[in-house]
Chains A and B, each alone.
Chain A
Amino acid sequence: MNLRVNQNENSKIYKPNRNSTLGFSIWNEMFAELVQSRELIIRLFIRDISARYKQSVLGIIWTFIMPIFAVGVFVYLNYSGVLNVGETKIPYPAYALLGITIWQLFATGITSSTGSLVGAGNLIGKINFAKESLVISSLAQTVFDFLIRTALIAVVFLIYGITPSWTTIFLPIAIVPLILLTLGFGFILSVLNAVFRDVSQIISFVITFFLFITPVLYPVPTTEPMMTLTKFNPVATLVIGARDLVIEGGLTQTYEFMYSAIFSLILFLLSWRMFHIMEPKIAERI
């Protein structure tokens, strides 16, 4: 396998490498590269954010339209009786909006990070730079959208007169595992997508499928087999956990949340390592 060996700051040796010689030093190298590319990550993030709405009339309003539309459909189905989602702790529109906003952190995060390498294919083939930056900065955009959308949630909560629990202050910490999970998948999928483009197609419908088996637009199921299925779905437990902090005042599925958080961390570290090892090979695959 191939690897860049950094001798000192400006001296490099490029060679086809023995994977077995990597050992533990790879983590040092990975962290060093991450620290080195922080400015690039920020710059790419600013670039994408400022370019995104340059040629658009509604601009940032689009960030709100997507969740409003998704929730609107379900609110209509619920009230018209086509779909019965059952009792929710807070009024359904607020509940669904909160759920979908957290969910979208994962969903759009996966979609955009999967496409991040292929989308920058031209750049990758022409300039040598840390490609982690592309995946991370694309996720940073999703987190940015999430932050903007919390404003929409605040407005809806105000309209319904709902007071969020005091535990909401832990929300920023609670979404960290969800971000790690997204990045973990993002690192693997972006590389796979560089090899075969089918990945981005598959992802779009797997995400839709997961939206339906994850209690985002409906309350946590209390009947089998959905109950067990939800417990083993790390996305579900992480989304439920984050939502619980806002409306329940604590975690309702503490163990499941912890397990999922640990799973996310391990997945993130392994896929980051894989990404780093594959990185020199990406340019010739795109």
Chain B
Amino acid sequence: MDDVVIKASGVSKKFSRDIKSLMKYGVYDIGKTTLGMDIDCSILRPKEFWAVDEVSFELHRGETLGIIGKNGSGKSTLLKMLNGIFMPDKGTIEVKGRVGALIEVGAGFHPLLTGRENIYVNGTILGMSKKEIDAKFDDIVKFADIGDFLDSPVKSYSSGMYVRLGFAVAVHTEPDILLVDEILAVGDREFQLKCYQKIQQIKKRGVSVILVSHNEYTVREQTSKCLYLSKGKMRYFGPTEEAINYYIKDSLEEKIIQVEDIKNQHLSKAPKAEILSIQFLDKNLKEISYIESGQEINIVLECLINKVLKNPIFGVNFYDGAGFMYCSNSDYECVNFDEILPGNIKVKINIPQFHLPQNKYSCSTIIAEENVTNLVDWKDKAYTFVVGRAKNARGSIKLPTKWDVGIYEKGE
């Protein structure tokens, strides 16, 4: 392993889901160990499960690896094993170099001690000698940017200051491998930027970085390779772009199963019309559940009209996790349908350039009569749809542009 700094082979970790069995196994393990006997860690006892299951990968010098996955997929557990906080129950991890871990910034801070005192305590816990801390002290303080608060107890710090100081200490331990858990989300945008700049900077010195995140943007910006964990198992290991696609597609499939029930809800027991299904089609009219931002999309609503609808309004809304994103509505767009007779109908909406930023969206559909508030049928967030990042886009979306370069004369 010349330039391989971390080599994990078949790494697994089991946990107990029940605190009583945890205690029982604890006593059993201590007893057996004290008597010098071996414990077979590789088999599951009742009420145990594999939190991380047979994960293998290699990390090279200067490389940045992302670990993505949903909550509870084993990301943090894997990171803690790489840091030596947990021992694997199966497999081996070979680590070459000094490991710096940012699993929770400021974990070693004592609230009553001042920032200055805590820099020394935290630095020592992270493995720095007093000499090293003395040498780095000014840099740490400068990076943390806590000003006059240096000699105040950290319990009077804002959470941002707390994180800044924690990150500052940890990043100055001069690691060969830096493990970063989803912690930077705490700081404000400006500080996050500063942290990532710092990470970029130490990467140039040949430091390898492992970044755990469930934020696709962060992972995409920072890493080229990704490990995607799902329920403790390694689903994918390779280029970040691919890993994220797997991740998004998986979460989409789960979402669809969950929404089955909602689909069958109606506003009234005998609606005048019902939305039966929604289909997303690409420009070739092939059904899709994923589209690249900026591409043409066709949305088809299948509806069953039970009674004559006068001046009906059809609408489609998109929501991201945080709120309302986009609406297409026949009323706002001045499309008039006059009257629709009973029967099965299809409503087609063509959007030539679908510029929603990369994300997972839930989609609601409505049928209303005369005006938007008079709803006939409404399927609230019953469908899920994923928008991927546009090719060659730096930001979240890519708008159609026309460029022109020309010479002009003053006063023209």
Q: Give the residues in chain B near A50, CB-CB below 8 Å.
A: 113, 117
Contact B81 A14 (CB under 8 A): yes
Contact A39 B129 (CB under 8 A): yes
Contact A19 B96 (CB under 8 A): no
Contact B87 A280 (CB under 8 A): yes
B85 at the interface (CB under 8 A from A): yes
Contact string, A1-33, partner B, CB cutoff 8 A, digits 1/0?
Answer: 111100000111111111110000000000000
Q: Give the residues in chain A near B153, CB-CB below 8 Å.
A: 54
Contact string, A109-148, partner B, CB cutoff 8 A, digits 1/0?
Answer: 0000000000000111111110000000000000000000
Contact partner, B97, options A10, A55, A274, A278, Cβ 8 Å: A10
A126 with B103: in contact, given A16-B42, A284-B15 (CB under 8 Å)?
Answer: yes
B120 at the interface (CB under 8 A from A): yes
Contact B30 A129 (CB under 8 A): no
Contact B108 A283 (CB under 8 A): no
In B41-81, the 8 Å CB interface with A consists of 41-42, 80-81
B89 at the interface (CB under 8 A from A): yes
Give chain B nearest CB distance to A203 CB in angstroms.
17
Q: Give the residues in chain A near B90, CB-CB below 8 Å.
A: 16
By beta carbon, the residue of chain A nearest B124 is A43
Contact B38 A1 (CB under 8 A): yes
Q: Give the residues in chain B near A123, CB-CB below 8 Å.
A: 107-108, 125
A173 at the interface (CB under 8 A from B): no
Q: Is the interface of A mostly helix, strand, loop or mixed?
A: helix
Contact partner, A18, options B23, B38, B91, Cβ 8 Å: B38
Contact B84 A4 (CB under 8 A): yes
Q: Give the residues in chain B near A2, CB-CB below 8 Å.
A: 41, 87-88
Q: Give the residues in chain A near B93, CB-CB below 8 Å.
A: 13-15
Contact B96 A43 (CB under 8 A): no
Contact B33 A11 (CB under 8 A): no
Contact B84 A126 (CB under 8 A): no
Which segment, of A89-97, A152-160, A188-196, A260-268, faces chain B?
Answer: A188-196
Question: A126–B180 Cα gap in the complex (Å)?
Answer: 12
Contact A39 B117 (CB under 8 A): no
A11 with B96: in contact, given A16-B87, A40-B125, A195-B26 (CB under 8 Å)?
Answer: yes
Contact B30 A127 (CB under 8 A): no
By beta carbon, the residue of chain B nearest A133 is B125
By beta carbon, the residue of chain B nearest A40 is B124
B29 at the interface (CB under 8 A from A): yes
B407 at the interface (CB under 8 A from A): no
Contact A284 B127 (CB under 8 A): no
Contact B127 A129 (CB under 8 A): yes
Contact B87 A54 (CB under 8 A): no
A85 at the interface (CB under 8 A from B): no
A128 with B113: in contact, given A19-B38, A123-B107, A281-B29 (CB under 8 Å)?
Answer: no
B22 at the interface (CB under 8 A from A): yes
A213 at the interface (CB under 8 A from B): no
Contact A127 B126 (CB under 8 A): yes
By beta carbon, the residue of chain A nearest B113 is A51
Contact B23 A196 (CB under 8 A): yes
Contact B36 A19 (CB under 8 A): yes
Question: A10–B173 Cα gap in the complex (Å)?
Answer: 14
Question: A152–B23 Cα gap in the complex (Å)?
Answer: 44
Contact string, B16-42, partner A, CB cutoff 8 A, digits 1/0?
Answer: 000000110011011011101111011
Q: Give the residues in chain B near A277, CB-CB below 8 Å.
A: 33-34
In A28-63, the 8 Å CB interface with B consists of 39-40, 43-44, 47, 50-51, 54-55
By beta carbon, the residue of chain A nearest B13 is A284
In B78-127, the 8 Å CB interface with A consists of 80-81, 83-99, 101, 103-104, 107-108, 110, 112-113, 117, 120-121, 124-127
Contact partner, B33, options A1, A39, A124, A126, Cβ 8 Å: A1
Q: Give the residues in chain B near A13, CB-CB below 8 Å.
A: 92-95
Give chain B nearest CB distance to A225 CB in angstroms.
32
Give chain A nearest CB distance to B189 CB in angstroms.
25
Question: A145–B36 Cα gap in the complex (Å)?
Answer: 37
Contact A274 B86 (CB under 8 A): no
Give chain B nearest CB distance to A117 CB in angstroms.
13
B307 at the interface (CB under 8 A from A): no
Q: Give the residues in chain A near B130, CB-CB below 8 Å.
A: 39
Contact B112 A54 (CB under 8 A): yes
Question: A4–B153 Cα gap in the complex (Å)?
Answer: 36
Question: A123–B113 Cα gap in the complex (Å)?
Answer: 16
Give chain A nearest CB distance to B337 CB in angstroms.
60
A16 with B33: in contact, given A2-B41, A51-B110 (CB under 8 Å)?
Answer: no
B377 at the interface (CB under 8 A from A): no
Give chain B nearest CB distance to A29 CB in angstroms.
14
Contact partner, A43, options B84, B121, B176, Cβ 8 Å: B121
Q: Give the residues in chain A near B30, CB-CB below 8 Å.
A: 191-192, 195, 274, 278
Question: A4–B85 Cα gap in the complex (Å)?
Answer: 10
Contact A51 B112 (CB under 8 A): yes
Contact partner, B84, options A10, A14, A16, A47, Cβ 8 Å: A14
Question: A62–B38 Cα gap in the complex (Å)?
Answer: 47
Give chain A nearest CB distance to B56 CB in angstroms.
13
Q: Give the residues in chain B near A12, CB-CB below 8 Å.
A: 84, 94-95
> Can you list 14 residue pairs at the A/B interface with Cβ under 8 Å?
A1-B38, A2-B87, A10-B98, A14-B81, A19-B36, A40-B124, A43-B124, A51-B112, A51-B113, A124-B85, A126-B101, A127-B125, A274-B30, A280-B84
Instruction: Contacts A11-B97, A43-B124 known; list 20 others, CB within 8 Å.
Output: A2-B87, A10-B97, A11-B94, A13-B93, A14-B81, A14-B95, A15-B88, A19-B33, A39-B130, A47-B113, A54-B153, A122-B104, A123-B108, A126-B107, A128-B101, A192-B30, A196-B26, A278-B33, A280-B87, A284-B15
